[in-house]
Homo-oligomer: A and B are copies of this chain.
Amino acid sequence: MKDRYVIGIDLGGTKISGAVANFEGDIIFKYTLPTKAEEGEKAVLDRIIAVVKKVIEESKLDKDAIVSIGIGSPGPLDAKEGKIITTPNLPFKNFNIVKPLVDEFHIPVYLDNDANVAAIGEYVFGAGKETNNMVFITVSTGIGGGAILNGKIYRGNTCNALEIGHMTLEKNGPRCNCGNYGCAEALASGTAIGKFAREVVEKGQKTSLSNYKNITSYEVFKEAENGDFEAQNILNTALHYLGISVSNVITSFDPEMVVIGGGVSKGGKIVFDKVNEVVKERCFKSMAKNTKIVPAALGTDAGVIGAVALALIESK
């Protein structure tokens, strides 16, 4: 059979990246344009189309060899309908983004949210290759997730499955952006870690964190490593809650593997040691033993490779 290719589009608030790749996930050509969300729906859509056209052109492939397009976008969105409902950093409101692309390029176009696309990327090309049940958790400004169950992406009834960051872990915990109290995201995200650190500094505690003007989770990890007690304390608590989140995911999904990505996962050993410790304490022994907890394997191009993987699994 003739070689076949797909296009992956990573749609973000600051840039639109697109790539043509073969069925092994090798990128043939990649191209990026700024999003310029402030210019509105039509202008951003036009730039997405321009990116697709550019990668087709520059890949020098026969147009018939490209079989589908996958798009990863922030949500909430309706994957079945191909519609972006609304999202803070993009202009689209209840906007069907699939239809104009199908009309333009006459090949199937698939849309899914960032977290699902990242999960699919790790499943097809990354840490989760050769698993059958895998949960992906991203821990950065927020906490999100996606799952491959019985070998298929699991989206749920309204395409919102695996909103892991909004599991309640503390009945009377801190207020979350979603309006609820004590969500995992309000206790263990990068944003939460930064916030707790700023609170400690404001209270006038003795800590090397007070040397920074802007404290984010990055500084907390750094100072914890340098031996600062308050930074270690903040991390210890937040990572305990991350461990509880992962434990609850294991207890609910009984997956072969939990893949953790996002900025906080870059903390490395301290993050994975703590998560493993909590899982061992809190999960059934057999489940703790049988679930691998690993860092995401895809790097800088994770977004676009995930979108390629989405196009691939839907085209197979």
Q: Which of B156, B180, B291 contacts A157 (CB 8 A)?
A: B291
Name A's interface SS.
loop
> Which residue on chain B has the smallest CB distance to residue A178?
B284
Q: Point out the residues of chain B lying under 8 angstroms from A283, CB to CB.
A: 166, 180
**Bound-complex Cα distance A168 to B167 (A):** 11
Q: Given the known inter-chain contacts A167-B251, A170-B171, please indicate yes or no for A154 contacting B149, CB distance below 8 A.
A: yes
A89: shortest Cβ distance to chain B, in Å?
19
- The contact size tier of chain A is 35 or more
Q: From A132, A161, A162, A168, name the one whose CB has the most chain B CB atoms within 10 angstroms.
A: A168
Q: Given the known inter-chain contacts A150-B152, A171-B240, please indicate yes or no for A251 contacting B164, CB distance below 8 A.
A: yes
**Bound-complex Cα distance A155 to B76 (A):** 28
Q: Using a CB-CB cutoff of 8 Å, which residues 11-57 of chain A contact chain B?
A: none
* The 3 residue pairs across chains A and B that have the minimum distance between CB atoms: A156-B254, A161-B254, A167-B248
Q: From A156, A178, A256, name the one whose CB has the most chain B CB atoms within 10 angstroms.
A: A156
A153: shortest Cβ distance to chain B, in Å?
10
Q: Which of B157, B244, B252, B290 contacts A254 (CB 8 A)?
A: B157
**Bound-complex Cα distance A284 to B160 (A):** 9
The answer to whether A168 touches B284 (Cβ under 8 A) is no
Q: Which of B164, B169, B171 contacts A168 (CB 8 A)?
A: B169
Binary B-proximity of A232-273 (CB < 8 A = 1, otherwise 0): 000000001100100111011111100000000000000000
The answer to whether A76 touches B286 (Cβ under 8 A) is yes
Q: Using a CB-CB cutoff of 8 Å, which residues 285-307 of chain A contact chain B?
A: 286-287, 290-291
The answer to whether A157 touches B169 (Cβ under 8 A) is no
**A133 contacts the other chain (CB 8 A):** yes
Q: Using a CB-CB cutoff of 8 Å, which residues 58-85 of chain A contact chain B?
A: 76
Q: Given the known inter-chain contacts A168-B282, A290-B157, please indicate yes or no for A252 contacting B251, CB distance below 8 A.
A: no
The answer to whether B252 touches A167 (Cβ under 8 A) is yes
**A228 contacts the other chain (CB 8 A):** no
**A281 contacts the other chain (CB 8 A):** yes
Q: Point out the residues of chain B lying under 8 angstroms from A132, CB to CB.
A: 157
Q: Point out the residues of chain B lying under 8 angstroms from A150, CB to CB.
A: 149-150, 152, 154
The answer to whether A133 touches B156 (Cβ under 8 A) is yes
22 examples of A-B residue contacts, CB within 8 angstroms:
A133-B157, A149-B150, A150-B150, A150-B154, A156-B253, A156-B254, A157-B256, A157-B291, A158-B287, A158-B290, A160-B254, A160-B287, A161-B252, A163-B284, A164-B251, A166-B284, A167-B248, A168-B282, A169-B169, A178-B284, A180-B281, A248-B248
